[in-house]
Amino acid sequence: DPPLPPPRHTGQIPESTWTLGLREMTEPWKGAVGCLGVAVFFAMTIGIISWQALEQSPEEWVLRGRDAGMLWERGRGALLLRALPAGRPVLAIAVGSVPATEPPPPRDRCWHDGGQFCYSWEEDAELRLSLEPPAAPGTECYGVRWTPLRPDVTLKDCFSMANVSWYGGPSVRAQRWPLNGAESPAQPLVSGNLGTNPDGFGPVLERYFLGSTGVTVTVAPEVPLLLSLESHRQFCLETPAGRAEPLHYQLCVGGNPSTRPAGCPKHLTRNFPPCRSPIWRYHGPEASAAKIKRGLRSLVRRLKRHRLQEGVVALGERGTAILAATDLVPSERRKRQAPALVEPLELSITLSPYAGVTSPLFLRSLRGGEAAGYWLSRQPRPGGSSIPLLTTWKGQLCARLNVTSEAALGWYLARARRLRQALGASYVVFEGVEGNSFLEQDVPAPAELAGDGYTEVLVAALATLGNGTVISAGTR
């Protein structure tokens, strides 16, 4: 009998073959897995890079404070101020002095100091942002300093008016509240004479601008500066051309807008509305009182829908006059109803010392009503009767309140109080307080109304109306 191979051996060969086979099968599998891994790694890397390139946030933090921070917006080249923690937009500054959309995202060159950020646009200008000691408790302040690196660079920063109502700045001839509606070419931000230069700026008490988002822009008095106003778009601060002056200003923002009036200059009362809330101007239909009321209610509904329930709804002079004509009958029912007009927002109405010659108010007064003789008049010749001095206001021929008549002034203030109560208004804005109607008409003014006498008398009287009174007047 041929010896049988030992069973162990026979078993061994296929086993080893099998092992070999397995090994042969294993190697490509491992290789494939390896290749796949590398491929996935590459794919992920490429994916992440391209995702970063595509999805990279257009905004980048450049300086972060405790309550707010500044960001750089690529693309349009703008500095943004946002309040933390939610990133509520506070301010957008379009940077006009450097090719801001071209450069790489700004890198922090002041890396040794967390309270600063610097970036320099080669041979154009250098930007330095710094956290500064707060102007008032509860605020956070940032210094913005542009330094030109060539003598012919003009530095210009423009502050957006989108969703921000602005106050402050210089007085202008037809003062508006807020200043978003004002328009002016670039001119020095210094006190001027509105009498000799009606298109210029009037007094500049302090060089600050106050935004309804709680931000203030303050410029030191020694910085030479031009200001331009582009209505409803932006206002711009720029340095005089060819003088290689730095552009330096300070931004302050309040920590928590819901509890603190942010960055309100001390001399403004805490009740000054923009220190707390935005102003929504009513631009709806004004054909009748009913239409205005419906329009106001629909504006409030829209604001509520966008969760903008805090703020002031501002009704202009025309709308106020139309409501006044129907709503001045005080009745208990009305008094109770009135505050609902724009609730939960607050209402601001607008008055001026002018009455159109076709207005019921003026016509009634001509017929010897309550307001007879309440208007400025030309000095009558001996034996003649006085003739109202007519001036134009907002394109209409108007009579103007005689503020040196105590009876007229008392009647006017009482009317303002009554109207404020009947309409449930929190604020009364007075327009058209400035100007000398006699000078404008080339008529000799009585001694008490010479110069800015009219404005002084009227402002003193209006101030007695209390904290909800807003007077903006430019004097010489």
Ligand X SMILES: *[C@@H]1O[C@H](CO)[C@@H](O)[C@H](O)[C@H]1NC(C)=O
Binding site for ligand X (CB under 6 A): 89, 162-163, 271, 306, 376-377, 402, 404-405, 426, 446, 467-468
| Contact yes or no for 209/159 (Cβ under 8 A) | yes
Helix (H) or strand (E) holding 201: none
Question: What beta strand segments (E) does 122-220 contain?
Answer: 125-132, 139-148, 156-160, 166-168, 184-188, 208-211, 215-218
- Give the integer Cα–Cα distance in Å for 476 and 464: 23
The candidate with the shortest Cα–Cα distance to 422, out of 325, 345, 352, is 325
Q: CB of residue 123 vs ligand X: minimum separation in angstroms?
A: 32
Q: Is 302 helix (H, G, I), strand (E, B) or coil?
A: helix
Q: Which residue is nearest to ligand X (CB)?
A: 405
Q: 149 or 443: whose CB is closer to ligand X? A: 443
Q: At 378, phi and psi to the nearest 5?
A: -70, 145
Between 217 and 376, whose beta carbon lies closer to ligand X? 376
Kindly tell me the burial class for residue 468, based on how many C-beta atoms sit within 10 Å of its own C-beta (0-12, 13-18, 19 or more).
Answer: middle
Closest CA to 95 of 111, 77, 108, 70: 77
Give 147 or 405: the residue with its C-beta nearer to ligand X.
405
**Cα–Cα distance, 176 to 431 (Å, whole number):** 7
Please work out, in degrees rounded to the nearest 5, the angle formed at the alpha carbon of residue 263 by the alpha carbons of 234 and 86.
Answer: 80
What is the smallest separation between the CB atom of 92 and ligand X, expressed in angstroms? 7
Residues written for the chain: 476
CB of 39 to ligand X, least distance (A): 42
Smallest distance from ligand X to CB 380, Å: 9
CB of 349 to ligand X, least distance (A): 12
Both tokens of residue 236? 């711009």
CB of 370 to ligand X, least distance (A): 14
Between 97 and 348, name the residue whose CB sits nearer to ligand X. 348
**Cβ at position 223, least distance to ligand X in Å:** 28
We find the least distance from the C-beta atom of residue 318 to ligand X, in angstroms, to be 23
Residue 94: CB minimum distance to ligand X, A:
11
Q: Which residue has the tokens 């607050």?
A: 346
Q: Which CB sits closer to ligand X, 148 or 274?
A: 274
Whole-number Cα distances in Å, 397 to 194, 354, 359, 430: 22, 9, 10, 19
For ligand X, the closer CB: 21 or 444: 444
Token pair for 124: 């154009």
C-beta closer to ligand X: residue 10 or 379: 379
Query: CA Rg, the chain, in Å?
Result: 34
Q: Least Å distance between CB 388 and ligand X?
A: 8
Question: Counting Cβ atoms within 10 Å, is residue 202 exposed (0-12), middle (13-18) or buried (19+)?
Answer: buried
Contacts of 193 (CB under 8 A, 6+ apart): 200, 202, 476
Count CB neighbours of 420 within 10 A. Answer: 22
Contact present, 476 and 451 (Cβ < 8 Å): yes
Q: Which is nearer to ligand X, 136 or 443 (CB)?
A: 443
CA–CA separation, 108 and 128 (whole Å): 10
CB closer to ligand X out of 204 and 314: 314
